[in-house]
Amino acid sequence: MAGAVSIVVALAGCSSSHKNASPSSAAPSTSSPAASTPTASTPVTAPSSAAPTSAAPAAGAVSLTSLDYYSSDPYKSFVSAHLDSCAAAAGATMASQDHVPGGQLGPKILQDISAHTLPSLLMIDNPGVQAIAATGALVPLTDLGVDPTTGIFPGILAAGTYKGKVYGMAPSVNSIALFYNKDLLSAAGVAVPKTWADLTAAAKALTTSAHYGLAFSADNDGEGAWHFLPFLWSNGGDFEHLGDPAAVQALTFESDFVKSGAASKSVVSWTQGDVNDQFAAGKAAMEINGPWNIAPLDKLPNIHYGIAPIPVPAAGKTLVAPLGGEMWTIPQTTPAQEAAAAKVVTCMNDPANQLAYNTDVVQVPTRTDVAAQYGQSYPPIQSFISEVSTARSRTEEVGPLFPTVATALETAIQAAITGAASPASALKTAAATVAAAPAP
């Protein structure tokens, strides 16, 4: 329990997808769906009425409660509408929905575990599911008759699994991809990069006195590790061998953008919101970021952008990006509440409801068939769907130890970018830190 406590607190501070998909800074559009096939400048998002509808629950219906970190609109309203509708469909009612700011979720969960006051439905950022499951506070979904596996992307299933049992299901997920300014690439005669060599050359060619070639986050608050993982994993690196050549090569590749002047030295303090601000203002020709930026960018009339998968080390290599997003879990409460909560989770992951929800929030459905359908109707999301198909859970390699790894990685990233240490030396230190960490 003590190990899980320290991990959940760390997750609240360094690796939450509320940063990766911030409701406050990533408000998806609430405009009605376009009548024709959309482009990157015509988002398709459904109004909150896209949530499933049903008759009001009967008198004496089971009362449910929930906890999440969707504390700002429009995400708060989207999630609330879907929870209410699915609770009604389950013959229950949402007596209360507690929405806390992201940084408060971890401590709140721990407080509720200690006081035995967990809600009926608990949303957890996917890297934290295993730590909470390890406390014994959650009920395996299959024990409640939920099918959490059929048609789900493999990385998503892994994120919700602890010791062979599935504890979390996600209606939507996300990752990060390469956004590029079409006008700037066209003016410079630069093709959309597909490999590391392409990206290096493109970033150099696109760097002028007016803008950098590439923007990304290398901060020490969760997003720095998140942005580095596609380079590490796609190059064959892993968390248990951070000092090995594959990891060193990946960090050298990333830090060289700053060293060459193709990326700003300020990346060590930029959040993903800061990165998108640079791109939106025309101060960066390319950025690495997530789908929560699609709707805000679409509102800007003077930027024409495209989205592509993050380049891989060489042609033929498989892109392995990190899996972001939140999962709904069912804490131990009463048999009646657990049974009703299971129906709500099943409802939220019904194909029609997944499509409606992701149309609202502009993210990736976790069911492969729904994702394919959404990608066909809304092309801007397609690169993210492709990435999610091979994405890796951040806890897949090291389980609840991930926050320790993330902190060690970000220390190394910052040391390499600022020149405080070479990539090899910085990662050697990171590897030693991870090796010395006590098992959670």
149 and 210 housed in the same domain: no
277 and 412 housed in the same domain: yes
What is the pLDDT, as a whole number, of residue 142?
94
Q: Buried b vs exposed e over 79-111: b needs ≥16 C-beta within 10 Å?
A: bbbbbbbbbbbbebbbeebebbebeebbebbbe
**Among 409, 367, 356, CA closest to 389:** 367
Residue 50 lies in a domain: yes
33 and 138 housed in the same domain: yes
CA 326 and chain centroid, separation: 7
Distances (CA, A) of 174 to 40, 321, 382, 409: 17, 10, 11, 21
Dist. CA 171–CA 363, nearest whole Å: 9
345 and 373 housed in the same domain: yes
Residue with token string 């999301």: 381
Length of the chain: 440
Dist. CA 235–CA 85, nearest whole Å: 44
Dist. CA 41–CA 59, nearest whole Å: 47
35 and 104 housed in the same domain: yes
42 and 132 housed in the same domain: yes
Which domain, by its residues, includes 184?
177-321+398-436
Residue 345 lies in a domain: yes
What is the pLDDT, as a whole number, of residue 57?
54
Residue 200 lies in a domain: yes
Residue 393 lies in a domain: no
31 and 106 housed in the same domain: yes
Q: What is the pLDDT of residues 285-344, one digit of tens each?
A: 999 999 999 999 999 999 999 999 999 999 999 999 999 999 999 999 999 999 999 999
Residues 6+ apart with CB under 8 A from 126: 17, 156, 159, 160, 168, 170, 173, 323, 324, 325, 326, 327, 393, 394, 395
Residue 379 lies in a domain: yes
What is the pLDDT, as a whole number, of residue 61?
84
201 and 167 housed in the same domain: no
DSSP states of 201-269: HHHHHT--SS-BS-B----SSSHHHHHHHHHHHHTT--GGGTTSHHHHHHHHHHHHHHHTTSS-GGGGT
What is the pLDDT, as a whole number, of residue 75?
86
Residues 6+ apart with CB under 8 A from 301: none
Residue 149 lies in a domain: yes
What is the pLDDT, as a whole number, of residue 36?
27
Task: Tally the C-alpha atoms within 13 A of residue 395's C-alpha that lie toward its C-beta.
Answer: 28
102 and 28 housed in the same domain: yes
Residue 312 lies in a domain: yes
The ranges of the chain with pLDDT < 50 are 1-55
Structural domains in the chain (count): 2
Residue 252 lies in a domain: yes
Q: What is the pLDDT of residues 177-223, one digit of tens each?
A: 999 999 999 999 999 999 999 999 999 999 999 999 999 999 998 89
Q: Compute how many other C-beta atoms are within 10 angstroms of the C-beta atom of residue 419.
A: 11
Domain end point (choices 350, 369, 388): 388
278 and 409 housed in the same domain: yes
CATH code for position 59: 3.40.190.10
Mark out the alpha helices in 260-388 (DSSP H runs).
272-280, 294-298, 335-348, 351-361, 368-377, 382-388
Structure tokens at 269: 């303090």
31 and 130 housed in the same domain: yes
Residue 36 exposed, middle or buried by CB count within 10 Å (0-12, 13-18, 19+):
exposed
309 and 330 housed in the same domain: no
Type of residue numbered 135: T
